[in-house]
């Protein structure tokens, strides 16, 4: 971290946001006693700016902005090792998930590559009802400006019949589109 923070009582809006995130995650950050077991076992901890324990500490202190701006929430691979091992039963992975979605909603994305991948993935699902692997690779590369990334995968995959150029479409595509639309109406996506 290395940054000095002035601790003030959390604002009412921050408190409300934390309560909402905790409800969505079905867990409470207050239970955490900062033992650090989550972070010792985190397989991506090495690449994080704030370890999972530190992210939970930020929440406990009401520093919601700092938590939402942490790169960690985008690097988290959702492997759930932290939640499985927490001696206090805090579902850390679910809080990471809730933070990620909130950051996305507020448009404060600290790791664009992950968000772009998710967007590309879901746009294929919305259009065709299934993952469009070839389209996903291409769209992801276009949006992140890395045209030839994973080229060592694409061609050999095609040769082995593992990547079809055309998307597979389901019959109920209109149903899938409706699912996306209704979720959006409810304030999501």
Binding site for another protein (CB under 8 A): 24, 43-44, 46-47, 75, 77-81, 83-84, 91, 93, 97-98, 100-101, 104, 111, 113-114, 116-119, 121-122, 125, 129-131, 133, 137, 140, 149-150, 152-153, 156-157, 160-164, 168, 170-172, 175-176, 178-180, 182-183, 186, 188-189
Residues 10 and 29 sit within 8 Å (Cβ to Cβ): no
Between 10 and 71, name the residue whose CB sits nearer to another protein: 71
Smallest gap from Cβ 142 to another protein, in A, equals 14
Give 8 or 147: the residue with its C-beta nearer to another protein: 147
CA distances from 83 to 37, 40, 52, 78 (A): 10, 12, 10, 10
Any idea which residue has 């996506």 for tokens? Answer: 189
Alpha carbons 18 and 12: distance in angstroms, whole number: 10
Contact status, residue 109 vs residue 103, Cβ threshold 8 Å: yes
Query: Which of 54/139 has CB closer to another protein?
Result: 139
Nearer to another protein, 30 or 113 (CB): 113
Could you give the CA distance from residue 170 to residue 27 in angstroms, rounded to a whole number? 37
What is d(CA 98, CA 53) in angstroms, rounded to the nearest whole number?
A: 16
Q: Would you state the structure tokens that stand for residue 129, as one six-digit string?
A: 């009802």
- 147 by Cβ neighbours in 10 Å (0-12 / 13-18 / 19+) ranks as exposed
Q: Which is nearer to another protein, 66 or 97 (CB)?
A: 97
Q: Whole-number minimum distance, CB 114 to another protein, in Å?
A: 5
**Could you tell me the smallest distance in angstroms from the CB atom of residue 7 to another protein?**
30
Minimum CB separation from another protein for residue 63, in Å?
Answer: 22
Q: How far is the CB of 22 from another protein (least distance, A)?
A: 13
């Amino acid at each position: 971290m290395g940054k000095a923070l002035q601790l003030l009582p959390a604002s009412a809006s921050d408190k409300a946001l934390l309560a909402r995130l905790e409800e969505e995650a079905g867990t409470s950050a207050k239970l955490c006693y900062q033992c650090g077991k989550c972070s010792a076992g985190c397989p991506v901890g090495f690449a994080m700016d704030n370890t999972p324990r530190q992210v939970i500490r930020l929440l406990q202190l009401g520093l919601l902005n700092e938590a939402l701006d942490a790169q960690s929430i985008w690097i988290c691979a959702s492997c759930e090792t932290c939640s499985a091992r927490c001696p206090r039963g805090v579902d850390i992975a679910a809080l990471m998930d809730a933070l990620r979605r909130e950051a996305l909603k507020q448009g404060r994305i600290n790791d664009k590559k992950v968000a772009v991948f998710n967007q590309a993935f879901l746009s294929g699902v919305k259009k065709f009802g299934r993952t469009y692997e070839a389209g996903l690779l291409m769209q992801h590369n276009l949006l992140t400006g890395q045209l030839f990334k994973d080229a060592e995968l694409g061609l050999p995959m095609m040769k082995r019949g593992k990547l079809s150029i055309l998307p597979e479409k389901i019959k109920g595509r209109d149903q899938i589109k409706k699912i996306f639309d209704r979720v959006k109406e409810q304030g999501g996506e």
